């Protein structure tokens, strides 16, 4: 083993073999932090080879958490040595979920250590009481990562809450910086692999979207989960962004109740009142049809190039829809600012949301309300509307949720919208 010194920018994570006064990547001054790297040296021993036919896919590689949502989105539970990053805004429910998983694992005889640099043992106990968690979970408030890992040799499941509050004493900088974040994470990863411990790393993301944070360590872990939703509402979406041991893209849906997070199937993210500028959509996220509320605000622009802004849906998608509407419906959108928002803090990825965006924009422009019609369909640049996939499941869920008017270009739609120009027939 050989030690090597590298310099890491504490703001953006840029790494160089030599000290730098100003970071060439992000331009920060005096942000270089000295970090020790240990490298293997000398002749390495030959690799051991395995024949493909002998690779074991037996189920015992999986550690079920018995939390239905977690097991299902992770493809059957954890895998020994797996490192999972759980990210989300403060107050969204990260610690609650971690403690609930910890509780399930303790109850099937696993040893669990909950390492918290955020909260005292008393605070954790209060949360545990709320969700009825087992008293067999071990706690530590030690923020030194080496000591925590030294105490974790016989631990099956390790929670690090949050990664930003832990410290590697070999790195000469404050907690929360990029150098610490990377170093602490790499120690946890290395430990988990060597010790076959499953580690759940909690990471804060801030509303302001600072560069610092979980994004920087995504590539180091096996699995990345992010919470979506708003603290002010009860629904939480947990999305799999990356998973080395299973499919990504799946989502789990929870409701935050008095006594913890509970899995639910098809939540309706729609309010009772739908004034003009609102439209309802049914979108598939992972394998769940979700009924969501899309809002648009169209107002006369006071600047030469009008503003386009979107929350919860891709910006480019909205721009393309606005341009198509201007052209096909001959609407004066070039003179209007357009803001689009998906309610409930959700990030919609399903293109079938297009038609609801178009309807909401139209409704806001002409100031006429639409009502509780559910829109589904991707809108092409020619204004043609496409039928969404998994149509049967969607319609089933829409009906079950108490909506009966469905609009789109498919058989079974109450309101047939083949082309954007048909929209004017719906909104009158």
Q: Which of 95, 100, 243, 373 binds Mg ion (CB under 5 A)?
A: 95
For residue 284, CA distances in Å to 280, 356, 418 come to 13, 14, 21
Q: Which of 96, 185, 310, 401 binds ligand TYD (CB under 6 A)?
A: 96
Which of 2-10, 48-56, 89-97, 343-351 is the region at the interface with Mg ion (rule: CB under 5 A)?
Answer: 89-97
Which of 92-100, 266-274, 339-347, 363-371 is the region at the interface with ligand TYD (rule: CB under 6 A)?
Answer: 92-100
CB 244 within 8 A of CB 257: no
Residue 190 half-sphere exposure toward CB, CA atoms < 13 A:
12
SS3 at position 220: helix
Per rule CB under 6 A, is residue 311 in the interface with ligand TYD? no
Shortest distance in whole angstroms from residue 344 CB to ligand TYD: 16
Per rule CB under 6 A, is residue 124 in the interface with ligand TYD? no
Which of 47-55, 94-102, 271-279, 351-359 is the region at the interface with Mg ion (rule: CB under 5 A)?
Answer: 94-102
Six-digit token pair at 316?
Answer: 């480019």
Q: Which of 27, 90, 275, 412 binds ligand TYD (CB under 6 A)?
A: 90
Shortest distance in whole angstroms from residue 285 CB to ligand TYD: 20
Closer to ligand TYD at the Cβ: 69 or 420? 69
CB 423 within 8 A of CB 392: no
Closer to ligand TYD at the Cβ: 200 or 318? 200
| Contact of residue 13 among Mg ion, ligand TYD, none (CB under 5-8 Å per partner type) | none
Shortest distance in whole angstroms from residue 226 CB to ligand TYD: 11
Distance CA 169, CA 184 (A): 10
Do you find a cis peptide bond into 162, omega within 30 degrees of 0?
yes
Shortest distance in whole angstroms from residue 180 CB to Mg ion: 19
CB 370 within 8 A of CB 362: no
Q: Which of 392, 391, 384, 377 is nearest to 421 (CA)?
A: 384
Six-digit token pair at 48?
Answer: 């051991």
Residue 89 half-sphere exposure toward CB, CA atoms < 13 A:
14
Q: What are phi and psi of 57, to 5 degrees?
A: -105, 20
Q: Which of 276, 270, 346, 337 is nearest to 311 (CA)?
A: 346
Kindly identify the residues of this chain, within the stretch 237-296, that bind ligand TYD according to CB under 6 A.
256, 258-260
SS3 at position 4: strand
Distance CA 162, CA 159 (A): 9
Q: Which of 110, 127, 341, 386 binds ligand TYD (CB under 6 A)?
A: 127
Per rule CB under 6 A, is residue 131 in the interface with ligand TYD? yes
For residue 24, CA distances in Å to 12, 18, 39, 210 come to 10, 12, 25, 19
The one-character DSSP state at 48 is: P
Per rule CB under 6 A, is residue 415 in the interface with ligand TYD? no
SS3 at position 279: strand
Per rule CB under 6 A, is residue 93 in the interface with ligand TYD? yes
Q: Which of 31, 65, 95, 295 binds ligand TYD (CB under 6 A)?
A: 95
For residue 209, CA distances in Å to 88, 236, 240 come to 11, 19, 19
Residues near Mg ion (CB under 5 A), total: 1
Shortest distance in whole angstroms from residue 119 CB to Mg ion: 7
Which of 93-101, 130-138, 166-174, 420-428 is the region at the interface with Mg ion (rule: CB under 5 A)?
Answer: 93-101
Beta strands in 205-349 (DSSP E): 223-229, 235-243, 251-257, 260-263, 268-269, 278-285, 288-300, 308-311, 336-342
Shortest distance in whole angstroms from residue 204 CB to Mg ion: 8
| Contact of residue 258 among ligand TYD, Mg ion, none (CB under 5-8 Å per partner type) | ligand TYD
| Contact of residue 393 among Mg ion, ligand TYD, none (CB under 5-8 Å per partner type) | none
One symbol per residue from 202 to 241: x for binding ligand TYD (CB under 6 A), - otherwise; what is it? ----------------------------------------
SS3 at position 341: strand
Closer to ligand TYD at the Cβ: 259 or 404? 259
Binding site for ligand TYD (CB under 6 A): 88, 90-96, 127, 130-131, 256, 258-260
Binding site for Mg ion (CB under 5 A): 95
């Amino acid at each position: 083993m050989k030690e090597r010194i590298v310099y890491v920018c504490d703001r953006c994570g840029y790494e160089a073999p030599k000290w730098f006064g100003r970071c060439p990547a992000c331009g920060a001054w005096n942000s270089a932090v000295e970090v020790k790297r240990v490298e293997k040296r000398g002749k390495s021993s030959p690799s051991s080879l395995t024949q493909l036919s002998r690779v074991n896919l037996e189920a015992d590689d999986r550690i079920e958490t018995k939390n239905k949502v977690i097991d299902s989105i992770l493809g059957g539970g954890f895998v020994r040595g797996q490192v999972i990053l759980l990210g989300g805004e403060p107050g969204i429910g990260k610690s609650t979920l971690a403690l609930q998983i910890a509780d399930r694992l303790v109850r099937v005889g696993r040893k669990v250590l909950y390492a918290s640099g955020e909260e005292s043992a008393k605070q954790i106990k209060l949360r545990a009481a709320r969700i009825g968690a087992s008293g067999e979970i071990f706690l530590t408030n030690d923020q030194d990562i080496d000591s925590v890992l030294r105490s974790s040799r016989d631990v099956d499941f390790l929670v690090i809450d949050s990664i930003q509050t832990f410290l590697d004493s070999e790195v000469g900088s404050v907690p929360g910086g990029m150098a610490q974040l990377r170093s602490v994470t790499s120690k946890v990863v290395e430990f988990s692999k060597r010790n076959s411990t499953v580690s759940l790393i909690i990471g804060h993301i801030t509303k302001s979207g600072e560069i610092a944070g979980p994004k920087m360590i995504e590539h180091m872990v096996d699995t990345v989960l992010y919470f979506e939703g708003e603290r002010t509402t009860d629904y939480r979406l947990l999305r799999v962004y990356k998973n080395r041991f299973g499919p990504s893209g799946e989502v789990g849906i929870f409701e935050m109740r008095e006594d913890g997070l509970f899995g639910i199937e098809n939540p309706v993210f729609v309010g009772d009142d739908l004034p003009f500028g609102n439209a309802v959509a049914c979108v598939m996220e992972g394998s769940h049809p979700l009924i969501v509320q899309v809002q648009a605000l169209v107002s006369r622009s006071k600047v030469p190039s009008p503003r386009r802004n979107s929350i919860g849906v891709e910006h480019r998608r909205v721009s393309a829809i606005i341009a198509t509407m201007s052209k096909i419906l001959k609407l004066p959108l070039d003179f209007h600012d357009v803001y689009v928002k998906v309610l409930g803090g959700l990030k919609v990825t399903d293109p079938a949301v297009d038609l609801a965006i178009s309807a909401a924009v139209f409704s806001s422009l002409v100031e006429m309300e639409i009502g509780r019609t559910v829109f589904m369909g991707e809108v092409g640049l020619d204004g043609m509307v496409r039928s969404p996939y998994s149509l049967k499941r969607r319609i089933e869920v829409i009906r079950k949720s108490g909506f009966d008017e469905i609009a789109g270009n498919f058989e079974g739609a109450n309101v047939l919208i083949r082309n954007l120009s048909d929209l004017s027939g719906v909104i009158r």
